[in-house]
A = this chain, B = another copy of it.
Amino acid sequence: MLFFTQCFGAVLDLIHLRFQHYKAKRVFSAAGQLVCVVNPTHSLKYAPTRCAAAQASAEQGILPPCHHHEAVHDPQLVPCTCPLFSCPWEGHLEVVVSHLRQTHRINILQGAEIVFLATDMHLPAPTDWIIMHSCLGHQFLLVLRKQEKYEGHPQFFATMMLIGTPTQANNFTYRLELNRNQRRLKWEATPRSVLECVDSVISDGDCLVLNTSLAQLFSDNGSLAIGIAITTSKVHSSEAEM
């Protein structure tokens, strides 16, 4: 009996994997772009009290403090920038990428344009979907977060951070694009530096924000495909174009 149950479980897993692959392939064939299937991680960092405190301070216009541990004594050292875990690690900016890959198992993708396919959008908040993106000689961290800023009303927040300094970040523009059901939503902005803390970017709402209803319109079988492109910015003259 146990054998049959295990066999049935294995078959279900295979079907699920095949389905994920099919979904990814479909977007991939349509776009000719690299697709990365990103599974969710239920964030371990956010105790409800921490979220509430961050929300309250954001509403009062005060940024929540952004340190994962007491203080960084050596100005050359930065704390772990992984938004998922309270991690005691600290190190030089140059080794943040290898720390994120090795310790937090965050995937890294190459290419100027990729498709980020976040699965299981229905999972309860707080949940994060994270990858690193290597492009134009730099590494970027893409964070999609499901969070309840207003109790009972989860929203999705997507942003891109440069694993580098704020001055370096100013040289780039990132674009996130959703495209489905005869609707298209594009967000373009200068990436923030990971030194600035992803939590405060999301509390400020200075990112792509989706209500649950809109996320459902853009998702396909519980997965949300986000097209990502990074370019070097041209002296920010784009404002005059509109």
Residue of B nearest to A152 (CB): B150
Q: How far is the CA of A182 from the CA of B233 in the complex (A)?
A: 10
- Chain A interface residue bracket vs B: 35 or more
In the assembled complex, A236 has its CB within 8 A of some CB on chain B: yes
Across the interface, do A213 and B217 meet the contact criterion of CB distance under 8 Å?
no
Interface string of A9-38 (1 = CB under 8 A from B): 000000000000000000100110000000
Interface string of A179-194 (1 = CB under 8 A from B): 1111111111110000
Mark out the residues of chain A between 31 and 71 whose CB falls within 8 Å of any chain B CB in the assembled complex.
31
Interface string of A147-184 (1 = CB under 8 A from B): 00110010000000000000000000100010111111
List the B side residues contacting A150 at CB < 8 Å.
150, 153
Partner of A30, one of B186, B213, B227, B240: B240
Across the interface, do A204 and B213 meet the contact criterion of CB distance under 8 Å?
yes
Instruction: Report which residue of A190, A205, A217, A242 has the largest number of chain B beta carbons within 10 angstroms of its beta carbon.
Output: A242
Since A150-B153, A185-B185 are in contact, a sample of 19 more A-B pairs with Cβ atoms closer than 8 Å, ordered by chain A residue number, is A31-B240, A115-B242, A149-B153, A150-B150, A177-B242, A179-B239, A179-B242, A182-B189, A182-B233, A182-B239, A183-B188, A183-B190, A184-B186, A184-B189, A184-B238, A185-B186, A185-B187, A206-B213, A209-B209
